[in-house]
């Protein structure tokens, strides 16, 4: 049986729109490597906080980023970032302090430059590991990281629904403030690519969103292999 064509899928959206949960679901169905780029910025935010480096351009920030070796740890279908050989714990990445500051650090050009090449290199990791594709979720995947992705999807939902989702997860996250910061930053702002499929997840269950995205992936693969 012929090997399926390798697909790169860009899945973007704001906080608590269901990006990571959806990506994990379709990764299982389509043998994709899943990359949650939000954890990359959270990991760098954590590193900056640990080193007492403020969320502003500075020589200290540049030095810290230069000293960090970004690596990848693949378990099942999940690719996790490592900093100098260590993968931060999820509880660290989702702490209230990181939630409050991640958008400010992610808006810094030096921080975004530090992860851009790393994120693009993960497509090669997926190929080397024998996956049939890569699904990467974030806020600028279809516009900056993989502008030529085989499939682009943009998830959105109203602020109230997303705030309720975060609360149900036991997390404190200022959704409105995060949106404003993500949309207004000068470098790689949150926006849908012009050719992205827009999906409103507000009134859909996770299973319904996964099914919809899964159909889009199947259609994309069938078109490429026709």
Give pLDDT tens digits for 65-81.
Answer: 999 999 999 999 999 99
Q: Please, what is the Cα angle at 109 between 54 and 126, to 5 degrees?
A: 110
pLDDT given at position 46:
98
Q: Answer whether 182's CB lies under 8 Å from 14's CB.
A: yes
CA gap 67, 80 in Å, rounded: 19
Helix (H, G, I), strand (E, B) or coil at 13: strand
Cα(80)–Cα(87) distance, integer angstroms: 7
- What rounded mean pLDDT belongs to the chain? 92
In three-state secondary structure terms, 52 is coil
Q: Supply 207's token pair.
A: 């299973």
Domain ranges for the chain:
7-225
Kindly state the percentage of the chain with pLDDT values over 90: 77
Say what the pLDDT of residue 190 is.
Answer: 82
Report residue 167's pLDDT band, with 50, 70 and 90 as the boundaries: low
CATH fold of the domain at 7-225: Rossmann fold (3.40.50)
Does residue 116 come out as left (phi exceeding 0), alpha (psi in the -120 to 50 range) or beta? alpha
Contact 159/21 with Cβ under 8 angstroms?
no
| Per-residue pLDDT at 1 exceeds 60 | no
> Tokens 């490592």 sit at which residue?
82
- Give tens-digit pLDDT for 118-161: 999 999 999 999 999 999 999 999 999 999 999 999 999 887 87
CA-based R_g, the chain, Å:
17
Task: Tell me the per-residue pLDDT of 176-223, one tens digit each, with 9 for 90 and over.
Answer: 677 777 777 778 888 899 999 999 999 899 999 999 999 999 999 999
pTM of the predicted model as reported, rounded to 2 decimal places: 0.89
């Amino acid at each position: 049986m012929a090997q399926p064509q390798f697909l790169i899928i860009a899945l973007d959206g704001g906080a608590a729109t269901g990006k990571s949960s959806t990506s994990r679901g379709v990764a299982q169905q389509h043998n994709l490597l899943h990359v949650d780029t939000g954890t990359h910025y959270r990991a760098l935010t954590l590193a900056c906080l640990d080193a007492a480096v403020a969320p502003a351009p500075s020589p200290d920030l540049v030095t810290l980023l230069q000293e960090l070796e970004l690596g990848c740890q693949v378990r099942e279908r999940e690719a996790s970032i490592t900093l100098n050989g260590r993968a931060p714990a999820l509880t660290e990445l989702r702490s209230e302090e990181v939630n409050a500051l991640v958008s400010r650090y992610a808006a810094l050009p030096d921080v975004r430059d530090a992860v851009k090449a790393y994120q693009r290199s993960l497509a090669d990791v997926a190929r080397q590991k024998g996956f049939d594709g890569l699904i990467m979720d974030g806020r600028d995947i279809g516009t900056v990281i993989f502008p030529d992705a085989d499939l682009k999807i943009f998830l959105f939902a109203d602020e109230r629904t997303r705030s309720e989702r975060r609360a149900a997860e036991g997390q404190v996250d200022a959704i409105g403030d995060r949106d404003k910061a993500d949309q207004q930053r000068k470098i790689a702002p949150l926006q849908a690519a012009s050719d992205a499929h827009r999906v409103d997840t507000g009134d859909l269950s996770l299973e319904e969103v996964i099914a919809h995205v899964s159909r889009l992936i199947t259609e994309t693969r069938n078109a490429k292999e026709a």
